[in-house]
Structure 1
Amino acid sequence: MNRFAHALLAWFDRHGRKDLPWQQTDAQGRRAAYRVWLSEVMLQQTQVTTVIPYFNRFVAALPTLPDLAAADEDQVLALWSGLGYYRRARFLHRAAQLCVERHDGQMPADFDALAALPGIGRSTAGAVLAQAYGLRFPILDGNVKRVLTRFHGVHGHPDENAVQKKLWQHADLHTPAERVADYTQAIMDLGATVCIRSRPLCLACPVSEHCVARREGLTAQLPTPKAGKTLPTRATVMLILRDAKGRVLLERRGPQGVWSGLWSLPEATDHDDAWRVAQGLARIDDAQALASFVHVFSHYRLHVEPWLFDDARTARATRESPHLRWYTESEWPALGLPAPVRSLLLALPERKTA
């Protein structure tokens, strides 16, 4: 076993995380591939502490891969709601269906078969094969990139092709043939808890003695950050049409663009357009402007002005459209709603009664 892996595994035995919900093992001491895969997808762009309650809720509702494959998209998106990057959930759902169609409802133990599934890249496939099947495959998620970038003193943004190629070489070199599942968890844990983005805890690091970044005082400079740019701001008016029964009109978004496939609120470009859109959807009277807010996406900021139309009455166009539907508050939890829309609906003022 190489020196890096040996030191890392010794540290993991003393300090590593061993009680995460996706680490449960069977009688043979192996983790369920479905749970490993689900956790890996959820952990993309998201921290462990945020993921745990979502993971527990998801597997409670859909405990097996065939259960996920058989679920309807609304249930999957509702369980995912709040994690963001909803394409991950749709890829997860489709990949489960393909596993049922092609692999007898199991996650394949073959790299090419795994990588052929939607949303599974090289690192996710490697994590499933290493942690669930004990096969020697390297991984390179965000935490691992940070560890290897600093340890080897690799300059350049980790997503650049040349840099990523070099990091994959390092990842493969360090991955041992023994205890590969523990090693995979160990290097992720090291990046998440010790080799953190700001002020890494170098004194607690088991491999700091040979770390280039520590030796040369580069821990603050590595990984090389992406060139900064100002996020553009877009504006929208969200229309909350609420009828006398307290139901809110929701609209399923199309297959393209942000929040695709989710139930959301009808939108308008400006105040004049808001009246035109609202009048086309329902018979309305006055509007109440609610507190505006900004929601930040990875590539832009969205300035939202919510308008509440109380006592809206159903229009013919609404009744005839399959993408428009009135939902009561009790039905919202079962819908795939974007997190800011869900928060907005839950904070609505009570209806005023005559």
Structure 2
Amino acid sequence: MERMATNNAELSYQSGLKRTIAAGTEEEELELNKLYDYLHKQLSISRTDRLGGRALATWDPNEKAVRVLRKDGKFGTFGYSHGGQCYLENFEALFLLEMNRLQLEYHSMIMSVEQAYTLLLGEAATTKCNEYLVYSHLTRVGYILVRHQNVPYYDNIEPTAEDCVWALALSAINNRAVPENLKKSPFFAKVKREMKVIKECIKNQQFPEQKQLDKTDSGVINFGVKVISKGKRKILNDEVENPTEAKRRCLEVATSQKSFLDCLKDEPEYKQFQMIFTKFDIIQMDDNNMVTDDEVRTLPITFDLYLHNDGFKKSTPKPPTFRLIILGVHEPFPTHAEIANTYNLQKYPVPLLVVSVGESKQIQALVYYFS
């Protein structure tokens, strides 16, 4: 194996301020020639490589994809089957080529990484470059990315009564079709009848009388039942045992010069409502920023992202953890209406991960959760 000897006189590295040379001068030409010579020497060094640890693949011009001829190592998260053959997505083949796990041939000739970039990503500027940049970065840090498939994923999941409620609500509000597996659920018919009864009660303004709440009631408040006021509050247990307790509380309010309505803040009903509303994250929407349907962009989902420790299987995948939307350099971040529209177009809704690629190829990501 050859060893390269570096000429210190020819390549001298100095620390200090950035060197600036005027364009088109003789000094700039000499500096560039030195850099070109150094790059040529680096590329001409003899390198040894181990061919036994790489898979073998060739470019299939009919399918416009990379066909695997020989596997080496684990291919659990890479490739797909088509016509009895194993194929790789363009971004998968380029990633394995960069990781030195694949030898790619084109008409029986071994391709270099630069040639593979031109073949798999194209010479013209397209979105494929940003897609591969995001795929390569997230795959290297341990995530599993596959091409997005908008499938329901309901076959391997047993639906619950809550799933039936949400499906019927979304069907009524957003005209979203109810999945077939939910219609076959034993909860579906019962939930549909109960929601129909509630709907008729709301339309006719008929509500059953609600029981008085007690301190021992630790359940969730039923917002579907109307509270009928009798004009008087219920006497508390400590006031029954000690009749002067109510007078003492009123006297404390009077001496503090506060409103007598503050006494109601000690009631169990108020505390239950307060505990529930503290969990809400209320955002005031600005009506002036609302856009029309014509201005709402359709954001394409590129990848489905899985965590590495969730037992991912290519043959029977589970619902992804996130779905990725990749934005270009000059594309603005999506609005609330655009994100909501993209989320509702999913057959199995999961959180969205919006990834923006900057001019310097830096990646910024923002997760959108919906509840």
**TM-score under structure 2 length normalisation:** 0.21
**TM-score under structure 1 length normalisation:** 0.22
Higher relative contact order (CA 8 A, sep 6+): 1
Q: Pick the structure with greater CA Rg.
A: 2
